[in-house]
Amino acid sequence: METEPKIPVQPASRRSQESYTDISQYKSGVAAKNKLVTAEEAVSIILDGDTVVFGGFAGVGLCEEVALALEERFLATGKPNNLTLLFAVATGPGDDRNKGLNHLAHEGLLRRIIGGHWGLAPKIQKLAIENKVEAYNLPLGIISHLFRNIASRKAGIFSQVGLGTFVDPRNGGGKLNAKTTEDLVRLLDIEGEEYLYYKALPVNVAVIRGTTADTDGNITMEREALTLESLSIATAARTSGGLVIAQVERVAQAGSLNSRQVKIPGILVDCVVVARPENHWQTITDQYNPAFSGETRIPLTSLPAMPMDIRKIIARRAVFELKPNCVVNLGIGMPEGVASVAYEESILDFITLTAEPGVIGGLPSGGLNFGVGVNAAAIIDQPYQFDFYNGGGIDVAFLGMAQADRQGNVNVSRFGPKLAGAGGFINISQNSKKVVFVGTFTAGGLKCRLDNRGLAIEQEGKVGKFVRDVEQITFSGPYGAKSGQKILYITERCVFRLGDQGLELTEIAPGVDLQKDILDLIDFKPLMRRPPKLMDERIFKPGPMGLKEELLNITLEARIIYDAENNMMFANLAGYSVKSIEDIEAVREAIEKLLKPLGKRVYAVGNYDRFTIDPDLIGAYSEMQQYLMERYFSKVSRFTTSAFLRLKLGKALEDRGVAPHIYESPDEAHKFLVND
């Protein structure tokens, strides 16, 4: 029996207040026109008090034709009014130009705004800051998942995302001004653990966009840079009893679209608006870039090198936190430099960069095109990207740092009259295995230069960024310390790490005076267990740092690890190259040196990603594996994404009577070991 509470469905009679007597009459009028309507006709279905969701992501996927028509109707008629605007990421130009959700920044048009990231629509920020609307800032990933839960009519979301931050009811519950009083977030205890409960609300109108619509309303997205949460938004509106407006650039005959390319089925779509070309750019800066949509792949050989400035120094130190095969998230702004330095150091091929709206692999873009990328391996829907993020899929996240305090709290979301919003920062920082916050030590006029001694501070910034207490907690230091995450704070002149007692100063740039340039400019006393060591001198010198060789040339001793608790040996042979009999013997000796003193057999798992071997040596390598199996291993599994290696090495091992057990993923390899 179903007992889970459901959000209420919007009754059809709700729409009798306006020009259509009911939804069926509205739909019959649209059906005669094959769901194709003008933008003006589409926005006429939006009623006073409706909750309206707009899709898009920052400078990507603006529903410009519909937003403009809604603004013009309100200014001409005063209708609709008192809307609730809900979005994961506000679309806009980042300034006061009338683009994106800036179109909706009118008193009376909006009553309430609930958003994840507000930064690109400063006009709606102003409404919140001036206390003219009710306003909430919730984590982007929570809102993305909330759309999905609304689609299945669930009453809300239970999550630990946001605990300890400004979203926690103990710190304000995401409310942004005095006008905002209703609690959308509650703190609950579930079996002894704290959770936040995020309340869902029905969606009356969803505004999404795609590339092509057929006359039945089926939508494809072949020229879109991102697919975002469009399907979840449309489904949320439909199951709430609401309506869906889809902005597209072209129309096809019903039944002519490839069903595998249809992202939004026509059964969810009520209105199709064909936008004028100037109102349907792929991003706010690019009318259409085929590399963004995955239509083409571009060579990355001509990317300009970053100038040797403060931003590059910070990015260079940050890149030292990368490991082979790690999955990485890059935040907007300062973290974007990490990708540029990784490219300069020729290590992009050994890591996987991701962006929160769904880009996996390739090279993420920055600026107003943040969120899209070129040469991506995959572009998935944003809610699924946050499933991966929330589950701890990110090995290391590089995120901005506008303020940090004595407890390790970080603020990137609000500063006096400026409201950026948290975006995906809370989800990502709270759930990544390692988090690296990057930013300058001070702000407002900071000037540095490089000399023979290292870094010289020519002019100090006017604003200190390491304060006693941050203005708003976007990342909770105590929660992060308790979780066991590795947390670093990297600036151009020093590095801190987060411990149980707050920030600890661990590194200092050559040429920097510890007292004058660091301690005198901090509003608290950081922990120093020992004198901070010097940051790597290569960071401050022009030319490549040689990280590729360092990243890949791991000693065999460091590659072979024994876990006594589980009696398991792990051999990290990723990137290892076997070119001679001596290389084979080196592997055997390293393993035997570790295992022989144990006096017992162990489980063993080997990582063979990017492992290369001369074909003439496969027989000798399998013979060495047989030797180890007979003496030291009780059970062995291996994994590699290379089908060729699985075939060749597997065959060689079988020929010697050794079961290969070579899998495609580490999860499969470990599962084999533990399931006898």
Task: Break the chain down into helix, strand, coil percent, rounded to 5.
Answer: 30, 25, 45
Q: Give the Å distances, CA to CA, from 530 to 236, 408, 492, 508.
A: 55, 19, 20, 12
Cis ω before 666 (30° cut-off from 0) = no
Quote the CA–CA distance of 185 and 199 in Å, as a whole number. Answer: 6
356 in active site: yes
| Beta strands, E only, 259-315 | 262-264, 271-274
* Alpha-carbon torsion angle 128, 400, 411, 473, nearest 10: 100
CA 279 to chain centre: 27
Residue type, 622: S
For residue 45, the tally of other CB atoms under 10 A from its CB is 23
Residue 253 phi/psi, 5-degree rounding, is -65, 145
Report which residue type is found at 403.
Q
For 578-595, the DSSP string reads E-SHHHHHHHHHHHHHHH
43: Cα within 13 Å, side-chain hemisphere: 26
The letter for the amino acid at 435 is V
By DSSP bridging, strand 51-54 and strand 414-415 are unpaired
Q: How far apart are CA 638 and CA 670, in angstroms?
A: 9
Torsion on CA atoms 299, 305, 310, 313, rounded to nearest 10 = 80
Question: What does 102-131 look like in DSSP terms, one character per residue?
Answer: GGG--BTTEEEEEEEE-TT-HHHHHHHHTT
For 298-402, strand residue ranges (E) read 327-330, 352-355, 359-360, 363-364, 373-374, 378-379, 396-400
Strands 396-400 and 434-438: parallel
| CA 158 to chain centroid | 20
Cα separation, 117 vs 428, whole angstroms: 14
Round to whole Å and give the CA distance between 144 and 427: 11
Q: Which residues contact 449 (CB under 8 A, 6 or more apart)?
A: 455, 456, 458
Catalytic residue among 249, 356, 504, 507: 356
Angle at 137 between CA 482 and CA 111, to 5 degrees: 160
CA-closest candidate to residue 85, choices 38, 120, 46: 46
Locate tokens 């949460």: which residue?
229
Residues with active-site annotation? 356
